[in-house]
Amino acid sequence: MNETTGKVNLLGLTQPQLEAFFEQIGEKRFRAGQVMKWIHHFGVDDFDAMTNIGKALREKLKARAEIRGPEIVSEDISSDGTRKWVVRVASGSCVETVYIPQGGRGTLCVSSQAGCALDCSFCSTGKQGFNSNLTAAEVIGQVWIANKSFGTVPAKIDRAITNVVMMGMGEPLLNFDNVVAAMQIMMDDLGYGISKRKVTLSTSGVVPMIDELAKVIDVSLALSLHAPNDELRNELVPINRKYPLEVLLAACQRYISRLGEKRVLTIEYTLLRGVNDQPEHAAQMIELLADIPCKINLIPFNPFPHSGYERPSNNAIRRFQDILHKAGHNVTVRTTRGEDIDAACGQLVGQVLDRTRRSERYIAVRQLQAEPAGTPGLERS
């Protein structure tokens, strides 16, 4: 319920929730399917545009409900086809959504929180603290906005966004109910019809919620590992002090084995020069992941001002990949995309600032990025 308007926002309701809503207002449950199609297939936010719904019901809906996505603050398109939206959520903060086309695939990276409380040492979002959880409408609203930007014909929509990763700002498992509801809408044929294998939740390791997730949904799971031993991970990903690697990997293994069907865990590993990119770290990773069906995604660090970290050399990245490869792992190195619009991994900034301060920050970021090559901590990938 929107506290200002007193209306229910239908955008964030799953099919069963929408059916319950219609029942509650004395209408037939099948109306839920009709309205979901209008909202998610056709991007409609005006009840009067729903031509297969009679006038009386449309008036009733207008009095009690609304379809309200987050406010679009900006939309940028990179020369490589990457798109980035900055949207404002109800708390007043801004979050970012990024679309990355690659081959026949279009991946949307979605945010779950404004800011983040977990304070990973290399993360620009974590540096800004926690502001608010996004509502289910604000999470699915990012998919809704991106979809609409590609047109409103369902077939075309299907081609544009083929994969969603809950890998934007925030720790999705700390906004559990809203993220689960949004992912259910992503997978529903009346929503976006994306396969469960192509919706991925990425966590830094909130162990109890990994087990909870397995009870309610079967999306793919990614683990932001970033370090192959507890000592280093305690420093880089502080939640590791509460849930160390042994219990974390056991929880991931439980989740993956419940999925069956040869599903694997995705390991995300940000490579930081001289910190976690050495051959001994690769060797420790091999040992750590020996019994876990997984694929490994190496992410060369994208420096941001005052991060204190640097991107490894290309040789160091290749060496690290080779060691894992030779041990039989499926390893990819994430190529940097959308750099010209600050959409690369780790570059999502400014979400907990108000618009004025955010603009100042962007100017500051761009000025620092314009400094000569070799400036410590500012090497570009």
CB of 314 to ligand SF4, least distance (A): 24
According to CB under 6 A, which residues from 191 to 250 bind ligand SF4? 204, 224
Which among 4-12, 164-172, 178-186, 193-201 is the span making contact with ligand SF4, rule CB under 6 A? Answer: 164-172
Binds ligand SF4 (CB under 6 A): choice among 141, 170, 228, 350: 170
19, 96, 138, 171: which one binds ligand SF4 (CB under 6 A): 171
The yes or no reply on residue 125 touching ligand SF4 (CB under 6 A) is yes
Hey, what amino acid is at 246? E
Give me the least distance between CB of 183 and ligand SF4, in Å please: 17
The binder of ligand SF4 chosen from 12, 43, 106, 126 (CB under 6 A): 126
Kindly tell me which of 67 and 225 has the beta carbon lying closer to ligand SF4.
225
- Only one of the segments 112-120, 207-215, 301-309, 331-339 lies at the binding site for ligand SF4 (rule: CB under 6 A); that segment is 112-120
Nearer to ligand SF4, 57 or 98 (CB): 98
State which residue has the least CB distance to ligand SF4: 126
Binding residues with ligand SF4: total (CB under 6 A): 12
What does each C-alpha distance from 73 to 96, 108, 127, 210 come to in angstroms?
10, 18, 22, 33
Query: What's the min distance (Å) between Cβ of 303 and ligand SF4?
Result: 15
Identify the residue among 27, 80, 119, 230 touching ligand SF4 (CB under 6 A). Answer: 119
Q: Identify which of residues 80 and 119 has a Cβ nearer to ligand SF4 in the complex.
A: 119
Residue (255 or 301) nearer to ligand SF4, CB: 301
The contacts of residue 189 (CB under 8 Å, 6+ apart) are: none
d(C-alpha 121, C-alpha 230), whole Å: 15
Pick the piece of the chain touching ligand SF4 (CB under 6 A) from 50-58, 99-107, 165-173, 240-248: 165-173
Query: Which of 120, 165, 282, 331 is close enough to bind ligand SF4 by CB under 6 A?
Result: 120
In the complex, what is the shortest distance from the CB of residue 265 to ligand SF4, in angstroms, rounded to a whole number? 17
Closest to ligand SF4 by CB, 67 or 120: 120
Side chain identity at 337, as an amino acid letter?
Answer: R
Query: How many other C-beta atoms are found inside a 10 Å radius of the C-beta of residue 179?
Result: 28
Which are the catalytic amino acids?
Answer: 96, 345
Sign of the dihedral through C-alpha 296, 297, 303, 307: negative
Of 123 and 186, which has the nearer Cβ to ligand SF4?
123
Q: Which residues contact ligand SF4 by CB under 6 A?
A: 116, 118-120, 123, 125-126, 169-171, 204, 224
